[in-house]
Amino acid sequence: MTHYLWNPPAIQSLPVRGKTERLPINRLFFVGRNYHAHAVEMGRPVDKSIERPFYFTKAPQTLVNSGATVAYPPETSNYHFEMEMVVAIGKAGFRVKAEEAHELIYGYGAGLDMTRRDLQLAARDKGRPWDLGKDVEQSSVCSEIVPMPGVVIDQGAIALEVNGVTKQSSNVDKLIWNVREIIADLSLFYHLQPGDLIYTGTPEGVGAVVPNDKITGRVEGVCEISLHVGQPECALAS
């Protein structure tokens, strides 16, 4: 039996619709700039004919279940929402062909990639990693996972509201790289494993939230998601 100096982190997991068992999380992958209109609003248009998808990762410890209240994070004054469709991988795969990518799909969820936009853009403009802007505690929000083994979702409305006001409204058929292409391309770099989540990208309309804001969103045919933005944490007394 292995003994540790302190307790290791708990396994992150998500509820699964219709099951008592939870889905254990392995890794969190995010596809950057995967809707044309969002790429344009970020000042970085994408030409699929000469570019490939790009990705960033977040620690599994950043995962938060839908319905949670999270503190407004430190060291930012521009905290953004990004609504996304999430693919849950249920089978190992490496160098998978696009026409076989569906075999790796376990199901889908609705996700939020919460972002310290000011820190992300400052890092981007200096050619530095995005970690402080993206790999933020409690910033990877996900709904329950809806089992859809082998199903490829290639169309369906995706939308988000803040305090009941629509901010994002699009369709997953506008993904630059679709679900098959994302899985196939990502599997060239990683041995995909059960429990990997792929956040497939956000449409246009991203924007800032402030404490007490309520975020709601949905992916048609999958499920809904919600998040309450709480107050910033107070500094500890010396």
pLDDT tens-digit map of 136-172: 999 999 999 999 999 999 999 999 999 999 999 999 9
Residue 188 domain-assigned (yes or no)? yes
State residue 42's pLDDT score.
86
- Report helix, strand or coil for 82: coil
Query: Does 4 map to a domain?
Result: no
DSSP secondary structure string, 92-151? Answer: -BSS--GGGGGGGEEEEEEEEE-EEHHHHHHHHHTT---HHHHS-TT-EEE--BEE-TT-
Band of residue 221 on the pLDDT scale cut at 50, 70, 90:
very high
The verdict on residue 10 lying in a domain is no
Average pLDDT over residues 203-231: 98
Q: Do residues 180 and 187 make contact, with C-beta atoms less than 8 angstroms apart?
A: no
Range of the domain at 41: 16-230
pTM (two decimals): 0.96
Structural domain total, the chain: 1
Determine contact, residues 227/111, Cβ cutoff 8 Å. Answer: no
Domain annotation covers residue 9: no
Summarize pLDDT for 77-101 with one digit per residue, the tens: 999 999 999 999 999 999 999 999 9
Render pLDDT for 95-138 as a digit per residue (tens, 0 to 9): 999 999 999 999 999 999 999 999 999 999 999 999 999 999 99
Please indicate, yes or no, if residue 80 is contained in any of the structural domains.
yes
Output the pLDDT for position 235: 63
User: What CATH number has the domain bearing residue 36?
Assistant: 3.90.850.10
Q: How high is the pLDDT of residue 234?
A: 84
Backbone torsions φ then ψ of 119, nearest 5 degrees: -75, -35
Residue 236 has pLDDT above 60, yes or no: no
